[in-house]
Structure formats: C-alpha cells, structure tokens
Amino acid sequence: MATSSSPRLLSSFLGDRLLSVSARPLLRGAAPGSRRAAYQATRTLCNLVDVLFNRGQSDKPEDNPRRLRPGKVSPRLSVPKHIQRPPYVNARQRPGLHNGPEIHDERGIECMRASGKLAAQVLKFAGTLVEPGITTDEIDKAVHQMIVDNGAYPSPLGYCGFPKSVCTSVNECICHGIPDSRPLEDGDIINIDVTVYLNGYHGDTSATFLCGNVDDKAKKLVQVTRECLDKAISICAPGVEIKRIGRTIQDHADKFKFGVVRQFVGHGVGQVFHAEPVVLHFRNNEWGRMTLNQTFTIEPMLTVGSVNPVIWSDDWTAVTEDGSLSAQFEHTILITEDGAEILTQYYI
C-alpha cells in the first residue's frame, strides 16, 4: 500500500493506473473510496503505479538466490481474426471500473456459465503443466492456444498494455506476474490467473499450484488461502452485505497468523472485465448488498509475512516487500436464490 494513511485499492486484474481514493485499498478490479473511483492513467492490469509502493526496490532482490528476478519476455501472441475481442483491445480509451454491477437475464447467465466453465477447464489444464523446469512463458503459450482453440479471447492480453494471455505469480509474487523465461524450480508455488472472453462475457479464475517438493509452510499457506475463498463463498446470497466477505476471510486467515493483502480486490465481472462491486478481502465497513443474478469475483491473497506490495518496473508484477510467500485463489460466482453458484468450479 502507498501509505498507511492513504491506502489504495488495486483490482487483482483491473486496469487502472492510479485510482483516486481516500483511505482505501486498490482494486484487483477497482478502488473504493468513491464507489465510482475512476482510473486515471493506464494501469497495467490492476497494479497501481508509481509511487506504487517503493517501486525503486522492486527489481533488486537481495542476497536470497530464491528471490524472483525479471526474466526475458517473449513477443505477444496473436489471436485469430475471427475471434471476438473485448472492447478495450486496441481501443484508444483506457478501460476503467464500470459503475454498475453485472446483473444478468437468463441468456446472460448461460453465457457466464459458458465462459466460467471454459476458464475453469483452462486453469485445470494449466495446473497439469506445473513442474520443475517449465517456464512461465511456456505455460502462457499453452494456455493461449487452448483459449483460442475454443473460440475465446484471453482477456488479459492487451488489457492496459498487459503483454501476455495469463498471469503467472511465483512465490513472493502477489499477483499480475508476467510470464517469462524463468523456469519453475522444485519447491516453488505458482498462482495461475486465467480469464477468458467468450461470446461477449468474461470468466475469471485462479489457483495456486505446488511445484515439486514444497515445504510445509508453503503448503499450509496455499491450503488456508483456498479455505478462505471457500468460506467467503459459503456466506454469499441475495441481500447479504458484501463486507461480510472480507470479515470471513480475515477471521480465517488470522487463525493461522497469515496476512491478508489489502491493495488488491475482487470485482464485478461479466460483459465488462471489471465492474462494481469492489470486493475487499479484509474487515471493512463498505456498504452494499449482494443482488440476485449478480456476478463478481472473490480472490483473496494471503502472505506468510508482509502484506505490503512492491511493483516492479514493468508496472504489473506485484511482490511482497519482504520476499515472503504469497498465495491466491479466485472464483467467479453468481448470486442465486439459494446462495451462490461457482461459475468457475475446478477440481484440483
């Protein structure tokens, strides 16, 4: 966070550069503060910019040989011309947080189910690729190919300049890691964040995978992060206050003394990539209630140590300032009469 007195919110994949916010986090999708926080300057996928938390220290790992370092980023992959693009691709105007929630009719719900199902299938496939020696760039290429083979567009590609089709966040990377030439190592953990745009609707999901022989502390972090997501989804239903999501996540994380990242948040998703509501993953007093047929993401990010992010000079990669491990899980959910339907259900 920028400062303790004026935190910002980043969407875990939003697209703003600098959100105008007062004393709030920055969205993975958008920032609260004023429910209509506007993105002022391109952001590169939900990470905030500049000051953006001690940017100068980011690309300079200390003596720890396991600390992440930027690798070589390959050229942007192409998408067949017949595949429908989201409006922000090649648009002159930078996308911002859509002011209204994503509430769907029957056709919209079916389209959301289709995009969510594909995103889940792609994520499950991506997880099978995780092993020591594979590069995150190779994962990106495989994910990209599967998405376009299914007639969809990889939503991150070209979003506010993001150069790849998936986010790959290894070890201390909180979110928005850009796939590159670094091979995964035995003992790594990696979050893979997949969003597909199919028939005019986005399906957004992520999971953290274990690479080889992972130590018990990392396994516990991953397990508890997933439990936080599951518990948060379990309390969702029409009329429920959205702030209960943050309290549920924070309560569970606190039991294990894990930190909850505040600078990145969940968001409405559907025909637009990032919409209201802003979903905070920590205790808060934001207003708003869940609505029948509404879709949004919940995507808690937990850490072993510091919850403060540092943004690399690529304007996207967000890492913990102390190099401690971070894990994340995410689902797109639909609010139904009976509670919540997970549109991106995967089985890993």
Largest CA distance in the chain: 55
Exposure on the CB side of residue 283, measured as CA atoms within 13 A: 6
User: CB 22: neighbour CB atoms within 10 A?
Assistant: 13
Cite the annotated binding site for substrate by residue number.
176, 274
Q: Token pair of 326, please?
A: 């971070």
- CA nearest neighbour of 226 among 324, 300, 306: 300
* Contact yes or no for 312/59 (Cβ under 8 A): yes
DSSP type of residue 57: G
* Contact yes or no for 252/220 (Cβ under 8 A): no
Measured between alpha carbons, how far is 76 from 144 in angstroms, rounded to an integer?
11
Cite the annotated binding site for a divalent metal cation by residue number.
193, 204, 267, 299, 330
How big is the CA angle at 99 (ends 264 and 269), to the nearest 5 degrees?
55
Dihedral, 347, 317, 200, 299 alpha carbons, nearest 10? 40
Q: Token pair of 310, please?
A: 């540092």
- CA nearest neighbour of 203 among 285, 104, 132, 127: 104
Measured between alpha carbons, how far is 55 from 318 in angstroms, rounded to an integer?
10
Place of tokens 């690529």: 314
Place of tokens 């004023």: 34
DSSP for 245-314, written as a single string: HHHHHHHHHHHTT-EE--SEEEEE-SSSSSEEEEE-SSS-----B--TTBEEEE--EEESS---EEE-TT
- Kind plus residue range of the DSSP H or E element containing 111: helix 106-128
Cite the annotated binding site by residue number.
176, 193, 204, 267, 274, 299, 330
